[in-house]
Amino acid sequence: MVTMATNGTGATAAFTPVLAAMSTMRDGQREQKKAAHQFLESFQKSAEAWQITIGLLQSQADAEAKLFAATTLRGKITYDVNQIPTEALPALRNQILELLKVFATGPRPIRVQLCVCLAILAIQMTEWKDVMPMVISTLGNDAESHACILDFLKVLPEEVTEGRKINLTEDELSQRTQELLGDNASLVVRLLIDYAQSSDSASTNPQLLEVITSWLREVPVADVVNSPLLHVIISALDTDRSFEAATDCLCAIFKETRDVDEYISAIQVLLPHVIALKPRIAQAAEQEDAELFKGITRIFAEAGEAWVVLIAREPTVFRPLVEAVLECAARDMDRDAIALTFVFWYELKLYLILERYIEARMQYVDVYSKLVDIMLKQLEFPTPDGNESDLFDGDREAEEKFREFRHHMGDVLKDCCEIMGVTECLTKVLERIKIWTRDYASQATTTSVPHWQQLEAPLFSMRALGRMVDKDEDIILPQIIPLIVQIPHHEKLRFATIMVLGRYTEWTSNHPELLEAQFTYIVSSFQTDSKEIVRAAAMAMKFFCTDCKHLLSGQVVQLQQFYNQTLDKLPGISQEELTEGVASVVAVQPPAQIFDLLKLYCDPLMARLMALANEAKDDEGKLAIADHMQLITYFVQIVTPYVEPGQENPAVKYCQEIFPILATILDTFIDFNPVCERICRNWRYMVISYRTAMAPLLPQMANKLANGFAASKQGCFLWVTAAILREFSEDREHVDEQTTQAIYAFFEAQATNMLRMMSDLAPRDLPDVIEDFYRLMVDALLYYPHKLIGSELFTPIFQAGISALALEQRDPLNAALHYLRDVIGYGGDNPPSSSDSPNPPDIQQAVRDLILANGEHLVKQILAGMMITFPDDCFTDGSGALLGLFELMPQQTAGWVDKTVRMLPAGTIREPEIDRLMSGIRERLALGHDGLRKVRSLLQDFTNSYRRRYVAPRDGLGRLEAERFHFSA
């Protein structure tokens, strides 16, 4: 029984450790808090928590302790109700009802938690059929009990819809949902109407409106709209205390009417009420009431979103609603509410661009045209009263919010562009630039540009519209581009101009007559003192060189001089962008010139790299080597000349020149991970870019990779190994048998080194390397399946993968699980293979034998992970591996699952639960292939339920503990 006396020393003694731990959580030191947290977490899972929490709620403890007790009781009823005999549940229900009477007047957080407790208990007590009448009659009909009943009515639908937390089957939950909600819907509506009409105060009670909102999914929306409750909701908008709740309720009604054909009669009732609120827009703006304005804007915007298809079908009828949303956008001077309208404009655009709504599109063009004007105004930076250099008076949060907000407004401009057309949108931009030029250009000086905000906003809008403008646009852009490269110097204007030019490089490639002026503007920008402008210029240079590479190819030598002179003045990211750009120009030169050009561009980079390597004395110096290495890698990535098979590749010839230098730097800094990673990345791209043409370098590279991996235990050496495996796989053209044999032997040497590491060290000491190794293994299985499955290493690699499942980090776990799933796939007819040929029977049998020998251990580790140690992102792969095992050998896998779940720590699960799980699995297996997916769902539900109820034991996992991997070779 869940009862506890509140008098005597026994009760107080039971409370004391809990109250002491709570006090420590408030005021203790860090280690004390950690111990207290562990104690409270363990307490919440214990069987004793039932009596202690109810005792605390009945005691004279403070409100904080009682709230903790109510929250704990909620968790117990959700996850641990199986700790109580079924015949004791009515007594527990009665105790909660009595506690609700005690807390009817508050504090509300405790009352709400108790209502949630009662609701969750009601869901699980399937034999309790008169839930609503009993709760209402027990709590009574006085004013104090009304708040309690309203809280219960609000939480009941919420808890039922979250019913997956509760240990009921889908059918049981569905039936209980109908009993608790569907069968009570009309009763609840009558109750709410009666309550609302009981007094003026009741009709504006936010709790009433919250209950209506909560029940809208269960009550037919027409029953609310056609009842006195609609008047209650609309009237509640006039009262401050109920405005927010009434707004939420009205918007929830709109959402329920999204299926406009089904709810057209309800929409016809609602629309006049919504339009009647239009005067409130101006009223809220004049009163400068931000919360009121946001609420009114939300009502119009969400009504528009819900009825958007009707707005497109019947533009005349619904135009007042669209104009109301536009007015909200226009009047929002503080930019607090306008974002609420963005989704509406986007969704309306999606309909208006359809051919069938062309007439509505014509009728709304003027609205979108006005919206462009509004956006151009809203895009303007604020005009400061004094300090021009700080537009936001030191408020960095406001500045960041504004910058992010501008990009969202840019998306709205794209929507407008799709409705109005590119030319019309750009015309508005051009007009703004011309107006500023007419009014203020003559007043601009080298130190001051008046009203620059009015010029910067259309420039920003041009950048936002870049994606919408076709490279053949010949009307407006040829007028705008010559204007903007002459804009007076001002940091924000120059930055905006550079960003525009960088956005339209694809268009410029089609208009070469305008390239020189833009390119000169960008190059000259590198001479400014502004770091922001220089960064923007480097980014723009990347786009110019990438998109206009053929136009710039004649200047490739002069470009190198600029590159060499500018590079050292740039920050790291800008160095990379500029390098990416110039490499693109080199890449389009004739193959005969590539070697000389690579020497021209990369020899100075290599000289810098060697100087950095000679000077590096500390981590900062070593990091500079790693960062500079990235620049050379860009050339390897991008400069990929086409050469006929059998002919020397000029890029590979250059790689052969620099390889010994890179190898020496690698040997020197083998103990510094970032340098190793960047050099390995460079070598990996050599293999990816030049593919089989890299054959002359492979022996040297393989030697360095093997020695480097053995010496450093770093996974980056496995990245290159994987690239070599892929590019020189058995089914590649122009790869001879001798080469593939040598590459596979090199791979096995790497794998043997890794297995020795995993034998010497626990998985927790090698998580990153394990991730890289099993990603390599996925490639090895894909490209060399027959060699790998027939290898002596196949079994230990599989066993090491099982031991890696003891990890708790997502990425290495996913890599190991992917490999294990792929191996399981080779036991059947449809393996994850790179070839179309059928899976040979001997391969299938080899994999089946492997699984029979190791399946019990594999299932144990996967289930232990899913129930206790895996992060959430690994569940899908874990259950996918189990599904693969069930498909391959269902009866054996069911036996392994049964054996594993019976190893769970004593007291954490009851035998009937295990029996029910296994019975469900066997029933679904009997259905054949169709039942396998249901087995996966069963196991996911079981492991999720177990995981929520129990924390991992801190003294280890007992019989579920992972076994250490051992390897001898």
Predicted local distance difference test score (pLDDT) of residue 954: 44
Predicted local distance difference test score (pLDDT) of residue 46: 79
In terms of phi and psi (left: phi > 0; alpha: psi -120 to 50; beta: otherwise), the region of 451 is: left
In terms of phi and psi (left: phi > 0; alpha: psi -120 to 50; beta: otherwise), the region of 393 is: left
Q: What is the DSSP string of 466-515?
A: GGGS-TT--SSHHHHHHHHTTPPP-HHHHHHHHHHHHHTHHHHHT-GGGH
Predicted local distance difference test score (pLDDT) of residue 167: 67
Split at pLDDT 50, 70, 90, the class of 213 is very high
Residue % of the chain over a pLDDT of 70: 95
Split at pLDDT 50, 70, 90, the class of 121 is very high
Is the pLDDT assigned to residue 175 strictly greater than 50? Answer: yes
Q: What is the mean pLDDT of residues 88-99?
A: 92
Is the pLDDT assigned to residue 733 strictly greater than 70? Answer: no
How far is C-alpha 669 from the geometric centre of its chain's CA atoms? 36
Q: What is the mean pLDDT of residues 591-602?
A: 96
| Segments in 784-889 forming alpha helices (H) | 785-789, 794-804, 810-825, 841-864, 875-888
Count CB neighbours of 365 within 10 A.
16
Report d(CA 537, CA 539) in Å as an integer.
5
CA atoms in the 13 A half-sphere facing the CB of 494: 23
Report d(CA 29, CA 48) in Å as an integer.
27
Predicted local distance difference test score (pLDDT) of residue 5: 40
Using an 8 Å Cβ cutoff, are 819 and 781 in contact?
yes
The total number of residues written for the chain in this structure: 969
Is the pLDDT assigned to residue 359 strictly greater than 90? Answer: yes
Predicted local distance difference test score (pLDDT) of residue 381: 87
Phi, psi (deg, nearest 5) at residue 955? -100, 25
Split at pLDDT 50, 70, 90, the class of 730 is low
Split at pLDDT 50, 70, 90, the class of 383 is confident
Report d(CA 355, CA 337) in Å as an integer.
32
Report residue 382 as tokens.
């604020």
Report d(CA 329, CA 377) in Å as an integer.
11
Q: How far, CA to CA in Å, does 499 sit from each of 380, 455, 606?
A: 16, 14, 32
Is the pLDDT assigned to residue 843 strictly greater than 60? Answer: yes
Report residue 256 as tokens.
């329920």
Q: For the range 422-425, what are the long-range contacts, defined as Cβ-Cβ under 8 Å and sequence gap of 24 or more?
A: 422/465, 422/468, 422/469, 422/470, 422/473, 423/473, 423/475, 423/476, 424/369, 425/372, 425/465, 425/468
How far is C-alpha 853 from the geometric centre of its chain's CA atoms? 39
**What is residue 386's DSSP assignment?**
S
pLDDT 10s digits, 629-678? 999 999 999 999 998 887 899 999 999 999 999 999 999 999 999 999 99
Q: What is the mean pLDDT of residues 32-36?
A: 84
What lies within 8 Å, CB to CB, of 654 at 6+ separation is 594, 595, 598, 599, 602
Greatest Cα-to-Cα distance within the chain, rounded to the nearest angstrom = 97
Is the pLDDT assigned to residue 929 strictly greater than 90? Answer: no
pLDDT 10s digits, 692-711? 899 999 999 999 999 999 99
pLDDT 10s digits, 390-417? 676 667 787 788 888 888 999 999 999 9
Report d(CA 79, CA 717) in Å as an integer.
47
pTM of the model: 0.80
Q: For the range 593-601, what are the long-range contacts, defined as Cβ-Cβ under 8 Å and sequence gap of 24 or more?
A: 594/639, 594/641, 594/650, 594/651, 594/654, 595/650, 595/651, 595/653, 595/654, 597/556, 598/635, 598/639, 598/650, 598/651, 598/654, 599/654, 600/557, 600/560, 601/560, 601/563, 601/635
pLDDT 10s digits, 279-292? 999 999 999 899 99
Is the pLDDT assigned to residue 570 strictly greater than 70? Answer: yes
Predicted local distance difference test score (pLDDT) of residue 958: 60
pLDDT 10s digits, 480-524? 999 999 988 899 999 999 999 999 999 999 999 999 999 999 999
pLDDT 10s digits, 139-157? 877 777 888 899 999 999 9
Predicted local distance difference test score (pLDDT) of residue 955: 44
Is the pLDDT assigned to residue 543 strictly greater than 90? Answer: yes
Q: What is the mean pLDDT of residues 248-268?
A: 95
What lies within 8 Å, CB to CB, of 273 at 6+ separation is 230, 234
Q: Which of 500, 467, 497, 335 is nearest to 403 (CA)?
A: 335
What angle, rounded to 10 degrees, do the helices at 767-783 and 716-727 form?
10
Predicted local distance difference test score (pLDDT) of residue 950: 64
Split at pLDDT 50, 70, 90, the class of 6 is very low
Q: Which amino acid is at 795?
A: T
Q: What is the mean pLDDT of residues 895-901?
A: 92
Q: Which of 305-314, 394-403, 436-445 has the highest mean pLDDT?
A: 305-314
Predicted local distance difference test score (pLDDT) of residue 253: 96
Q: What is the mean pLDDT of residues 310-320?
A: 96
Q: Which of 207, 216, 63, 76 is nearest to 148 (CA)?
A: 207
Which residue, chain included where needed, has tokens 């989704």?
A: 343
Using an 8 Å Cβ cutoff, are 349 and 415 in contact?
yes
Predicted local distance difference test score (pLDDT) of residue 164: 55
What lies within 8 Å, CB to CB, of 624 at 6+ separation is 612, 616
Q: What is the mean pLDDT of residues 722-748?
A: 83
Is the pLDDT assigned to residue 168 strictly greater than 80? Answer: no
Which residue, chain included where needed, has tokens 């009682």?
A: 66
Report residue 597 as tokens.
């050009």
What angle, rounded to 10 degrees, do the helices at 591-615 and 556-566 form?
10
Whole-number mean pLDDT of the chain? 89
Split at pLDDT 50, 70, 90, the class of 560 is very high
